[in-house]
Chains A and B, each alone.
Chain A
Amino acid sequence: MLKNRIIPCLDVKNGRVVKGINFVDLKDAGDPVEQANIYSDGGADEICFLDITASNENRNTIYEVVEKTSKKCFVPLTVGGGIRSVDDINRLLNCGADKVSINTAAVQNPEVVAESSKKFGSQCIVVAIDAKKNFDNWEIFTHGGRNNTGIDAIKFAEKMENSGAGELLVTSMDRDGTQVGYDIELMSKISSRVNIPVIASGGVGNLDHLVDGIKLGNASAVLAASIFHYGKHSVKEAKEYLDSKGIPVRI
């Protein structure tokens, strides 16, 4: 039986991991290799790096981080943030990323998704959808949640599936950072409309939220950042909890 995945997400800025795991015995809290190892040793099913580097001149640092991490990381590594073109994707894959997550570029230029999935295979193309509720609909936001495009999130999800996306990473902008739980309605709506796996993101504050994302939101995988970063829970604890609730996980 296929297991539901737990994906810790690490923020990377200027080539260093920020907001990482809050363990005191780390030699260097910003070392991506060390942090990725802690997560994969703890049973993370996949590791996600989100590049939050603001300036263009520091963009290249993500490649070094990925290269260094992938040499010692033997679970899938997904990298997102600031990906603009097929060339960017090619470079990240060459550095050792297994998948890339595309957000703004997928909205502005959906051809990037079609072209890259054809070129590299849809297995490595994740489209990140940042959506915010507007009455009965959800609208897509780009540029790290700053720009409202007015595009309907559900329709966009279907379009991305048709363009060749292998997975959708769905983040609720309303819930992100609030720790009140995923937007279950959004997750389940998108999940029922597409036939590719959906990764739920945005709003996890406790382990029950992970359970809800899978059981009620029908997500194939759950992504979380802060509950793991601040030592509130380990990935192992999360998996044991999901297992106790009857959710199939890899233990």
Chain B
Amino acid sequence: MNVTIVDYNSGNISSVINSFKEVAKDKVNIEVTSDLNKIKSSDKIVLPGQGSFKSCFDALNSINGLVETLNEFAITNKKPLLGICVGLQMFADLGYEETETKGLGWISGKVSKINNQNNKFKLPHIGWNEISIVKESKIFKDIEDKSHMYFVHSYEFVPEDKSVISATTDYSSNIVCSVEKENIFGTQFHPEKSDKIGLKIIANFINL
């Protein structure tokens, strides 16, 4: 099996690579590439993302044909895809970081700044927070409710259809931190930096 981590200049992806290689061992081939043919032929895709919504989406667009390839992979062919952090946020129609930016539009909704209640809560939301699992998700197999995950973000994904939400976390309000819509998975937290429990989520995705 081939799992491809999409390398599109979205910031630091070395931890994502290290964690997937650790989990995959020699059984699964982990490819890190922006090569469209390799992406097309892979079995699963990981879409990482750090920095701002706009900078990540601009980076996606700067690789000719990448957005179309991802659409074909996830929407037409319905093959499994995992978005991490801004990778998840880009599933939305619109993002509001820096300026209004169109997203992939895979899951209707928008990405807006966390309402920190007039500075009562510090931003970015950095550190370990508990997740509340609100629906069964394949990537949460053997993951206990209230497990701790590592977060670092100032913006949150607000999907229109709440049934896609698989987990939330409590920071100033209930923030959506994981979604599942058919073959599309996303986590706002960083499984690659969430210790053994995070590696378990990565293993669950690889083993889908």
Contact = CB atoms under 8 A, between A and B. Distances in A.
Contact of B122 (A40, A123, A197): A197
B15 A72 contact: no
Given A196-B124, A221-B127, A74 B195 contact: yes
Nearest to B125: A2
A34 interface: no
B103 interface: no
Given A196-B123, A197-B127, A2 B171 contact: yes
A30 interface: no
A35 interface: no
A120 B59 CA distance: 13
Interface in A58-98: 70-72, 74-76, 93-98
B128 to A, nearest CB: 4
A2 B120 CA distance: 13
B14 interface: yes
Contacts, number: 97
B122 A96 contact: no
B18 A70 contact: yes
Nearest to A123: B152
B105 interface: no
Contacts of B119: 195
B122 A196 contact: yes
Interface residues of A, number: 33
Contact of A2 (B52, B128, B153, B193): B128
- Candidate in A2, A124, A195, A221 with the most chain B CB atoms within 10 angstroms: A2
Interface of B: 11-12, 14-15, 18-19, 21-22, 50-52, 55, 116, 119, 122-130, 148, 150-153, 170-171, 192-196, 198-199
28 contacts: A1-B129, A1-B130, A3-B148, A4-B127, A45-B127, A70-B14, A70-B15, A70-B18, A72-B22, A74-B18, A74-B22, A74-B196, A76-B193, A95-B14, A96-B15, A96-B18, A98-B15, A120-B11, A121-B55, A123-B50, A123-B126, A124-B11, A124-B12, A167-B126, A195-B119, A195-B122, A196-B122, A250-B148
